[in-house]
Amino acid sequence: MAIKISELTPKGANLEAMDLLEISESTSDGYVSKSITGEEIINAIPVPTLNPEMIGSVVGSGIMGTTNQISASVLIPAGTISTNKTIYIKSFIDRTVVSGAGSTNFRFYVNTSNTLTGATFLGSGANMASTVRFQRFERNIFYDGTNLNLFLTGTSASNDYVASAISLIGFNPAVDNYLIFAVQHSTSLTDVAAWKKTNIQLYD
């Protein structure tokens, strides 16, 4: 009895290399059977590679006070970063002015735990003062197999799209790492600032 492919019972498991799919075609001389292995099907299906690949997207907390505090952090799981990959950071930074006293610093770090204790400083966004409310922050960080190559860590700027000296930061991609984004007001106890929306992507 002929059965349509749509009437077959699903396998109910992932396709394996040793699976064999056989189809019989009716001809004037009877039936002609054709077959294909699971391995042939798997090899024939292209697996798309995301480029860029999203590592994480986070909405940061609003920070008040004159101590350096975490607004946002993104986990980079062990094994995510490989040699010759580029980490791209893009963030919307917001400062809600109440007193407008002093300035606000926006710093970012890397650490193997989600804390500023023992974290390695990677750089700063542009300082914001007075009535400045918004900053678009962007950074490209290249991993050469040993070090993170990035815009000079001692320079405060909203982006790295200018010529700069280079900073080389040792990095171990075989363990979990966190990118940590912190806020510190210089004098105001009432202004609120945040790494309001931060996206981390990975490029080939």
pLDDT score for 52: 83
CATH class of segment(s) 53-203: mainly beta
pLDDT score for 143: 98
pLDDT per position in the chain (204 positions), as tens? Answer: 556 666 767 767 777 878 877 777 767 777 777 788 877 777 777 666 667 899 999 999 999 999 999 999 999 999 999 999 999 999 999 999 998 889 999 999 999 999 999 999 999 999 999 888 999 999 999 999 999 999 999 999 999 998 999 999 999 999 999 999 999 999 999 999 999 999 999 999
Spell 29-58 as b/e; 16+ CB within 10 A means b.
eeeeeeeeebeeeeeeeeeeeeeeeebbeb
Instruction: Kindly report the length of the chain.
Output: 204
40's CB contacts (< 8 A; 6+ apart) are: none
Boundaries of every domain in the chain: 15-47, 53-203
Q: What is the pTM of this model?
A: 0.76
